[in-house]
Each structure stands twice: as structure tokens, then as C-alpha cells.
A and B are shown apart, each in its own frame.
Chain A
């Protein structure tokens, strides 16, 4: 039997603007060195399922952290109330997210078990933010799970603070893994094509997997959008991608 103890708990870290923000971490208790993973929660918030994903990465052998991106708007609130508050206030500004993600990367690298490598993975709005980390944060791998508005333009009068990132593709500095459902509208298959073309044209390292019979949020085990076949294969791709790019 292999030793498989994991420690998982809530901690405070200094995020963007030196603000104290809540984060959920999980770490294998076996000695390192090993890579770290930043988990970026979906728009419905820092919920139980997001925390399960953090623990899963620890079980897979990574130090993992998920910052509660709604810490400032709704400290201590139920995840759905926090998400509603954040939505009403226009969502999370990119600059603030980037500050929090850099803090999470620092926190991972400061662990005595760190091998210096950090990856990111995000779901839904977090998919777009994971893409953003490949430009703005020192990460060695980024996984975009069905992030909308990496390309494509939000409709006019759109109240949320979300801008497309197509013009940032030349600045991408980490390999990208993209996982998408072919029945999704945000992002649509055409938008995924557009992003792929931009990555190709700019000579970036990327790998896309697209799933038939799956739409948005196919990894969400507690929602009707869950698609086991896509999710099982998606996890396999994530494990292989991080094993390649976050190894010692």
C-alpha cells in the first residue's frame, strides 16, 4: 500500500492589493518535490464541488489551492449567495483575479515540497481566467475547461466585466489544454475553432479535446450538465497534461 494521506483546509493568503482572501488548499503528506495546481472555481462560486476538485489534485500528487474569488464581496457567505452578489456587482475584474492568481502561485512555490512548477485549471468563467494565467502569471501549464469569451465579443450593454482575450494570444507563455463540449454555446464550437486558429497562427503549444454529446459544465458532477464519458476522458487528459508539464 502506498502512503496516501492528504491534508485539506481553509487558509488565508494575501491576494491582490495585499487583501486577505480565503483559499482552500489540499496537499499530499508524502514528501516532495512536486508541482502545484491553482484551481479556479466556476462562476457559481467557491463551492463544495470546487473543493472536491482541489482534494482530487492532492490525491493525484500535487499541492493544490483554490482562492475564493468572491472573498471580498461576500466573506463567509453561502457559495450561491456569494456568486449572486458578485454577479450583481459586475463579476470579478481581471486585474484583481490576476493579483489573486499570482498570490496563489507564490503560495504554492513557497511550500517546501514545491518543485517550482505551477499549473492552473479553471472551469466556466474560470476557464477564461485559466487562459489569462497563461499570459499574466508564471505558470508552466494552463487548462481551459469551456471558458467563454476567450474569443468572441460580449453583447452590447453587457453588465459583467469580461473582455475577450484574443488579442493576448501572442503573449501566451504556457502550454494550453482546452476541453470543450460540442453542444456548448458559450463557447460555441466556432469560437473554439477561432481560438485554435489563433494559437496555431501564433505558434503556441496547445492541445484541444472536444466532446460530442456534451455541453457546458460537463465536469460538474452535481448538475444535469454532467457527462460522465466526457468528464472521465477530460480528467485523463488533465492528468497526462500536468504529468508532462509539472514534473520535476
Chain B
């Protein structure tokens, strides 16, 4: 995973559901690198983490570049719409 390229954000007032159920999220790392599972050489990967609860407190996705672009648009649309609520 040697692009090493990583963006990291703090996550507040947000939750994720992992193998043990729901937990509060603390950080998210976003990176374009080799996936563990998705069938491409590189994917946009997001790890939502809660370090206080250990490495298993993780919601992970590996997105194809096209899917990541669509997600970005969907997030933008949704966040803009939310501003009018």
C-alpha cells in the first residue's frame, strides 16, 4: 500500500456499526491505495475508527474510483440539501 497517501479527519457526534454493533466514531482515514478485498489494484478506502475501543472498532469500505466520485456527489447533494432543512 505504498502510495501512503492518507487524509485523516476527526469525527464528532457520529456512529458506525461494526462486527460488535454500534459504536461512536472518533477518526476517519481516507486513502487511495491497494485494497484488501475489492477487485482493483487501487481503491479509495475509508476507515472509520474508534481507537479507544481497539482496532476491531472499525467500519471499512474500499470503493472503486467511479463509486467514490458518485459517493462524493451524493454527499455533496445531501449536505447541501440538509442546509435548507
Interfacial residues, chain A to chain B (CB-CB below 8 A):
42-44, 73-74, 77-78, 80-85, 87-89, 91, 124-125, 127, 146-149, 154-155, 158-160, 162, 185-187, 215-217, 220, 223-225
Contact = CB atoms under 8 A, between A and B. Distances in A.
B39 A82 contact: no
Interface residues of B, number: 25
Nearest to A220: B34
9 contacts: A77-B54, A83-B1, A85-B49, A85-B51, A88-B49, A124-B1, A147-B2, A186-B3, A224-B39
B2 A125 contact: yes
A146 to B, nearest CB: 7
Q: Which residue among A42, A78, A81, A124 has the maximum number of chain B CB atoms within 10 Å of its CB?
A: A81
Nearest to A125: B2
Contacts of A88: 8, 27, 29, 47, 49, 51
Q: Is the interface of A mostly helix, strand, loop or mixed?
A: loop
B69 to A, nearest CB: 20
B29 A43 contact: no
Contact of A87 (B29, B34, B40): B29
A42 B3 CA distance: 12
Q: Specify which of A42, A84, A185, A217 lies most central, judged by the most chain B CB atoms within 10 Å of its CB.
A: A84
A87 B47 contact: yes
